[in-house]
Amino acid sequence: MDLKPYLNRFVIIGIIAFAGILLISTLILIGWTSPRFSPEVGFAPADLTMIPAPTHTPNATLLPPVDPNATPTLAPNTIGLSAYVQISGTGGEGLRIRSAPGLNSDTVFYGGESEVFVVRDGPKTADDHIWWYLVAPYDDTRAGWAASDFLSVVPSP
């Protein structure tokens, strides 16, 4: 089959013109269907949680035995109820926050190095560690038990 009679200059010009018409119509359709950018976007909240940089804070000391009749007065660097604590000393690996006191309980989530929590319960002793129930001040779902070995008291905001 000889295709030479079909490939003359009129056919080639027609093919190029047809391709040009298809290209122009495609660009026009894209222009009509693409979303328009509006300068009045307004407020768009970011899904980002800022965690403060690590600070040098001395490790917390353990609580003395509690006398039920005494009025509690804690030293400045002592973990207690409603105290703010910061995860420290994990070497950047974070701390396992657990569902119950003890090394064999399930890990609920990992608390990041320098993340701040509020103490809501404790102390409980298990597996040679003192455990505190911590709740993130910005998210009540981030809560669980943590060993005091990796907690440092920080001033309340």
Per-residue pLDDT of 79-110, as tens digits, reads 888 899 999 988 888 899 999 999 999 999 99
Q: Which of 115, 116, 134 is nearest to 124 (CA)?
A: 134
Q: Which residue range(s) make up the domain with 95?
A: 84-154
CA–CA dist 90, 24 (Å, integer): 61
Global confidence as pTM: 0.53
Round the CA-based radius of gyration of the chain to a whole number and report it: 33
Helix, strand, coil percent content, the chain, rounded in steps of 5:
20, 30, 50
Q: Is 8 within a domain? A: yes
**Total of domains in the chain:** 2
Q: Is 46 within a domain? A: no
- pLDDT tens per residue, range 16-67: 999 999 999 998 888 777 666 655 655 656 566 777 777 766 666 666 676 6
| CATH number of the domain that residue 105 is part of | 2.30.30.40
CA–CA dist 117, 84 (Å, integer): 6
HSE-up of 71 (CA within 13 Å, CB side)?
0
Q: Is 59 within a domain? A: no
